[in-house]
Structure 1
């Protein structure tokens, strides 16, 4: 309550981790979508707002698997619906759940565009709290367009719900205290691929602890570390640090700068946290492993980093090396999947799979018996569309009609697969999601080519800031300060 008045809070969510290196655009049909009160089941804040006696104004929820730039017209449709759902007057605050690295054809930062549209409608006096992914690439304008910025504090992500609730709690604190804080952002001129950055391990663990200590300072609302999404070709790509104090902007900026300075200082300490090798060597390591269950990550074609998911490079290396007891989970190929649906269960089939979405992707020929057809669970916990499974003897291959990510055990279970029956499970991931990490006896990162390749030198980004580590080194004693 504010002065005896029920607080009126608008909520909206739009998430898609962008990738500038993939030719596969993200379209309206790729989004899991809910509008109005139907979005309450998709976000973790409705109960909290009700408990606080707030009147909720729901707009929309839209969440797509990471992918290429969103088609401009489709994004403008979603953004328009969200903005239209906001009353021009009478709001006490707005909570937005965005990704932070969503890119749009001809627009760039989806988050900046959306915030500008919202400010044009509601003005500057309505506090806006922004909850983001840990891999947010925040443009310079974003902290000028909202009042509190926070986000996930774990990678791999385990705190999505906690981060959402924290964003709402900070919004309510601002409303009750009649605060309009100004977040302060600075950057480190370092790009480290996400698979070498995990929050529970050094050197990032120490940086996260620094941020937590700073957040305990009197009046500090949030001190947030964002690693950024390295596959976005923009000047604002890379690690960014955002601190929000109730009123002391100089203190907030100092905290952000100290974090950026520390990130730069430890830039040489970031390492892959599992074995990493070129594709053929990675396959051999997996084949020779004594551990019963080995997960082999096709890191260059990681669909959770926006890659197409259609590259058969790793599948071909597994074939060439004669690997046995292998599950390939999976390959996106609409034509091959359609062919499986035109056949009968039990039929022997020879298919060329892969290379259907990107000219850079390899294809491979597989021969096997069709043992399963059915829809597969999505990354967002809805329906990812048709899939087919072929038993090829020493290898079992999953083919999906659409881009998909088999990043959790329940996704395997949704198509009747027990991955524990195999020695090697090849997945379109970088580091394993926590649920698979718990199952794996050994994880190996295959440094495959593709839109989510692990080396900045191989990305050929043209718009990022320069100098930038690791393309250049020792160019500053500390990162440039804003």
Structure 2
């Protein structure tokens, strides 16, 4: 039997000013046909986990297309439609018995707020009802009825920080193989509540609220109540009306059980909703707090999270460091193509007064002007060592390291998803030597914590503002939690009532 293999992964953000086109994907992963398998083999990607599981089951792989654009704003409509058409046409070129898709689940496109649902529906319409379709999804997927109605199997990441993309692809593909070999007859059900959860409190580690939901889901699977139970606290920075937290369950020919499990999962998130809210500081408060602590401190610049769709160009923490901590050994990263180009024109060792930051999205902050020395210049290439992109290349483009006192400012041309400290290491900086290091994400910085490292989180305005109630929602209709203090859950739609 033959299984078509494809991925189309991107995390959107309607609060971001970015429009992402082909070049966004080309800088990361964009390959087709014969180029697919060499690009993904041996990596920790969801599509790679699926590939290995399907091969183990003796299934023939039909590689179609792999596109991974990371995170940003809205994907250009023309590129999205072209890619969808190429995936569908590639699958229809030859007979296949099943389809595996690696998706993020929270892509947003020009003219389409449910692009993954549109892709799955297009495949279902082209293939008919008899060909099973399985998809892996990010934990922050915006799961829609169209996705659940047209896919036989949906399985989400279980960890945040994300460390199980490969394992999630494998689990979804194993269920697909089970369906193809006649061992199971999978059915998928979705239940959603009209609520959003702050990302900053969404860790699945320790005894965090999402860790408790994770434990519940694994217990349900171990008890045989579902083949897969997934929780989706959703990417919250999508100003669309059809958005809410979700539970998804896959069972063996038991739609009523799937509906019950999906509802149990989403209610478990709802019941813990208040525990997801964490205290955040202003940039100045965060820097003062970090300076007062005896050991190394990581500052999470949560409102400018590249992994959530922000451009990474906010200079708010840079300004606070210049005001309060220029004598502390520190490092901060601010994306600014113009400043990087200026540094390359100046050359290493040259001094200049430069404007840094807010060059891509000036809505929230003004640029910072300060005198700096060009300390080093880099090509910006690196390889991810962990997380959902482990083993894949990253490209910051021409990258300058500027020094102001003992503060080093890494200035890349392009924003890149942060998992650990790969960007700093690519710029020749070991943040273990720093008193303060700034990471532009609200969660993955936790992979860098140790006994000698603590953290503080910055709040405030930005494309990924951690305080969801502070956002001026234009499309999503209120009331919904946390903007409104609702006491009872509001289920969004009864999905294919069992």
- CA offset at residue 85 of structure 1? 1.4
Residue aligning to 2:49 = 44
Which deviates the most, 253-262 or 99-108? 253-262
Unpaired stretches in structure 2, ≥5 consecutive residues: 41-47
Match of residue 120 from structure 2: 115
SS at match of 1:390: strand
Give the alignment of 1:276-425 within 5 angstroms: 276-291=280-295, 293-360=296-363, 361-376=365-380, 377=382, 380=389, 381-382=392-393, 383-425=395-437
Cα 1:52/1:181, change in 2 over 3 Å:
closer
C-alpha contact 2:15 2:237 (8 A) present in aligned 1: yes
Residue matched to 1:128:
133
Structure 1 length normalisation: TM-score?
A: 0.93
Shift of 1:351: 1.0
CA offsets, 1:425-461, max 9 Å, x none? 1121112345323486111101132000011122222
**Given the alignment, which residue of 438, 444, 468 partners 1:432?**
444
Per-residue displacement from partner, 1:185-237 (whole Å, max 9, x unpaired)?
A: 11133211211111123322222222122223447321111110000112332
Q: Which residue of 2 aligns with 1:452?
A: 464
Q: In structure 2, what is the Cα distance between the partners aligned to 1:53 and 1:419? A: 46
Offset at residue 297 of structure 1 (A): 1.0
Please give the per-residue CA displacement for 1:401-439, whole angstroms capped at 9, x wherever unaligned: 112344423332222111122101112111234532348
User: For 1:371, what is the secondary structure of its paired residue?
Assistant: strand
Whole-Å separation in 1 of the counterparts to 2:425 and 2:362:
32
Of the three residues 158, 161, 181, the one matched with 2:166 is 161
Number of aligned residues: 473
Residues 1:208 and 2:182 are matched in the alignment: no
Contact 1:189 1:465 in 2 (8 A): no
CA positional deviation for 1:151: 1.6
Distance in 2 between residues matched to 1:385 and 1:439, nearest whole Å: 34
Given candidates 194, 204, 207, the residue that maps to 2:199 is 194
> Is residue 35 of structure 1 aligned with residue 14 of structure 2?
no
TM-aligned CA deviation for residue 56 of structure 1 = 0.6
Structure 1 consecutive aligned stretches of length 4 or more whose deviation exceeds 4 Å: 477-481
Q: Which moved more, 1:164-173 or 1:217-226?
A: 217-226
Matches within 5 A, 1:241-260: 241-260=247-266
Paired with 1:148 and 1:187, the residues of 2 have a C-alpha distance of 17
Determine the C-alpha separation between the residues in 1 that align with 2:161 and 2:111. 31
Compute the displacement of 1:338 (Å). Answer: 0.8
Is the alpha carbon distance of 1:237 and 1:46 closer, same or farther for their aligned partners in structure 2, counting shifts above 3 Å? same
Q: Which moved more, 1:430-439 or 1:236-245?
A: 430-439
SS at match of 1:108: coil
Find 1:15's aligned residue among 9, 14, 33: 9
Q: 1:203 to 1:106 in 2, by over 3 A?
A: same
- Give per-residue Cα distances to partners, 1:75-99, cap 9 Å, x unaligned: 1222222222103562111010000
Comparing 116-125 with 97-106, greater Cα deviation is found at 116-125
Shift of 1:163: 0.6
Question: Residues of 1 paired with 2:423 and 2:451: CA distance?
Answer: 14
Counterpart in 2 of 1:100? 105
CA displacement, residues 20-56 of structure 1 (integer Å, 9 cap, x when unaligned)? 1011111111112122243224233333322322211
Question: Is this contact kept in 2: 1:95–1:130, CA < 8 A?
Answer: yes
1:465 Cα deviation from its structure 2 partner: 4.9
Partner of 2:148: 143
- Please list the CA deviations of residues 105-132 of structure 1 after superposition, one character each: whole Å capped at 9, or x if unmatched: 1111220121122122212211001100
* Greater mean alpha carbon deviation, residues 411-420 or residues 143-152: 411-420
Q: Residue 152 of structure 1 aligns with which residue?
A: 157
- Paired position in structure 2 for 1:3: none
Counterpart-to-counterpart distance in 2, 1:313 and 1:457: 21
Report if aligned partners of 2:31, 2:65 keep a CA contact under 8 Å in 1.
yes
Deviates more, 1:321-330 or 1:340-349: 321-330
Distance 1:126 1:89, change over 3 A: farther
TM-score (norm. length: structure 2): 0.90
Does structure 1 conserve the Cα–Cα contact (< 8 Å) formed by 2:329 and 2:436? yes
The question of whether the paired residues in 2 share the 8 Å contact of 1:409 and 1:435 is answered with: no
1:187 is paired with a residue whose SS is strand
Pairwise CA distance, 1:479 = 4.7
- 1:62 aligned to 2:62? no
CA distance in 2, matches of 1:433, 1:93: 38
- Unpaired stretches in structure 1, ≥5 consecutive residues: 1-6
Q: Whole-Å Cα distance in 1 between the matches of residues 490 and 213 of structure 2?
A: 15
Aligned counterpart, 1:4: none
